[in-house]
Amino acid sequence: MLRRFVVFPVFCLLLLLSLVAQGQVRHEINFPDVPGYVTLKCDFHTHTVFSDGTVWPTVRVDEAWRLGLDAIAVSDHIEYQPHRADLPTNHNRPYEIAAGRARERNLLFPRAAEITRDTPPGHFNAIFLQDIDPLDTEDFLEVIQRANEQGAFVFWNHHDWKGPERGDWMDVHTQLYEKKWLHGMEVANGSTYYPRAHQWCLDRGLTMIGASDIHGPDLMERMTADQHRTLTLVFAEERTLDSLHQALRAGRTAVWIEERMIGRRDVLEPLFEACFHVAQPHLRTGNAVWTTVKNHSAIDIHLQRAGSVGPERLTFPAGATTLLRVTGGQPDEPIELSYTATNFWIAPETGLPVTLRIPGK
């Protein structure tokens, strides 16, 4: 009799828990894979109650899965713990608490931390760490060295953030760079875009990172072209931690902030090609060709004419099919139109040159 009393509530509890797990719905973020690589949607800069965030680490994992992400890092401040009175210092705990949940949700979840110093040098994220405790030490260069000795990928966060030098590249940054201890920079943090970081990444071969730096709960139901976290798209050989790390080292990333996609030209070109598909024309008249264009991505694509033929401006909404009529020329012949994708930035304020190819008969 006693056994029944124990077993039944336990059974109910298990049933309830299983329903909770099944109740979660994921809304995918639609960015296609590119030739040779899978496109991973990643946020490598988030906080929890273990530093100045207001959510428990598992909540970050649930949000990320629900919102269609493939990889996240919980990167709590090592040196700033306003909830220390309630949560004793244990830098590895956020990772340990959430890692199992990330495995259950098939989410890539590298161990991470934010190295937090006044400017200069500022804040740096180290991801793919083995153990965060050795990074809790006074000397800044020592910290970055230790992170590198663990094989971490290190990037400079929100550089133009505060201080009289306003994110200038100082001697300390040159030191990190020359020792090959600095691998990337946030080109975007939340809704802030950093044009200097963008240019430095291009000039110095640093990896471009975009991240939310989210502190509160994410109340978004799904990410859309209009409303989404600032993310890093990573083009990895496989959907594994090793491939993710390798792709970051190789700089195969694009930053999705608001209605812009930012990246190196050799990265944005194949992404654009994978997103943008012009159909075989369905109607050819004496002086016009009618076709459709599918945008297979989560970002609206804005084109501006760079040549002399074709409509001046074109917009292709995310995930939609758009009717296109092009006049002039020989309707049966293939048509090539020169455009600039004005919201795909290969340098600050510089759109990606693209060719709109309409197949011939």
Binding characters for Zn ion, 77-106, by CB under 5 A (x = yes): ------------------------------
Binding characters for Zn ion, 103-142, by CB under 5 A (x = yes): -----------x--------x-------------------
Beta-carbon contacts of 224 under 8 Å, excluding residues fewer than 6 positions away, are 298, 318
Least distance between Zn ion and beta carbon 175 (Å): 20
Cβ atoms of residues 29 and 299 within 8 Å: no
Q: How many residues does the chain have?
A: 361
Least distance between Zn ion and beta carbon 359 (Å): 48
**Which tokens in the block code for residue 60?**
């970050």
The site for Zn ion, by CB under 5 A, has a size of: 4
Tell me the C-alpha distance between 147 and 130, whole Å.
9
Tell me the C-alpha distance between 326 and 335, whole Å.
9
Least distance between Zn ion and beta carbon 197 (Å): 14
- Residue 166, CA distances (Å) to 161, 162, 196, 346 in order: 6, 5, 11, 24
Q: For the beta carbon of residue 13, count every other beta carbon within 10 angstroms.
A: 10
Tell me the C-alpha distance between 88 and 97, whole Å.
14
Q: Of the two residues 200 and 339, which places its CB atom closer to Zn ion in the complex?
A: 200
DSSP 328: S
Least distance between Zn ion and beta carbon 192 (Å): 12
Residues of this chain, 191-250, that bind Zn ion according to CB under 5 A: 213
Least distance between Zn ion and beta carbon 118 (Å): 11
Cβ atoms of residues 319 and 234 within 8 Å: no
Binding characters for Zn ion, 154-173, by CB under 5 A (x = yes): ---x----------------
Least distance between Zn ion and beta carbon 114 (Å): 5
Q: Does 186 bind Zn ion (CB under 5 A)?
A: no
Q: Of the two residues 236 and 257, which places its CB atom closer to Zn ion in the complex?
A: 257
* Backbone phi and psi for residue 262, each to the nearest 5 degrees, phi listed first: -120, 135
Q: Of the two residues 115 and 261, which places its CB atom closer to Zn ion in the complex?
A: 115
Q: Does 60 bind Zn ion (CB under 5 A)?
A: no
Q: Of the two residues 63 and 213, which places its CB atom closer to Zn ion in the complex?
A: 213
Beta-carbon contacts of 139 under 8 Å, excluding residues fewer than 6 positions away, are none
Binding site for Zn ion (CB under 5 A): 114, 123, 157, 213
